[in-house]
Amino acid sequence: MTRNYEYFLKANLDAYAGKWIAIVRQKVVAYGDDALTVYNLAKSKYPHERPSIAKVPKGETMILVVKWR
């Protein structure tokens, strides 16, 4: 599991409910309604990093992690 994913699972992201977010170095660096726009904004701020992109759910959700062998 990556650090950014761990951050996504544990952080309080209520302020971004229903939005796409980009996470770099365990912090939200961009957000908005369009995933590609959010990704491009994050890449422009951190060109040498690989942003993690996720849509923050509205309300409760269950996240299932499956590890393939």
pLDDT tens digits, residue range 25-49? 999 999 999 999 999 999 999 999 9
Angstrom distances, CA of residue 10 to CA of 3, 18, 40, 42: 11, 17, 25, 21
What is the four-CA torsion angle of 8, 37, 49, 9, rounded to 10 degrees?
A: 0
User: Mean of the per-residue pLDDT values for the chain?
Assistant: 91
Number of neighbours of residue 7 by Cβ within 10 angstroms: 16
Q: What percent of the chain has pLDDT over 90?
A: 75
Model pTM score: 0.82
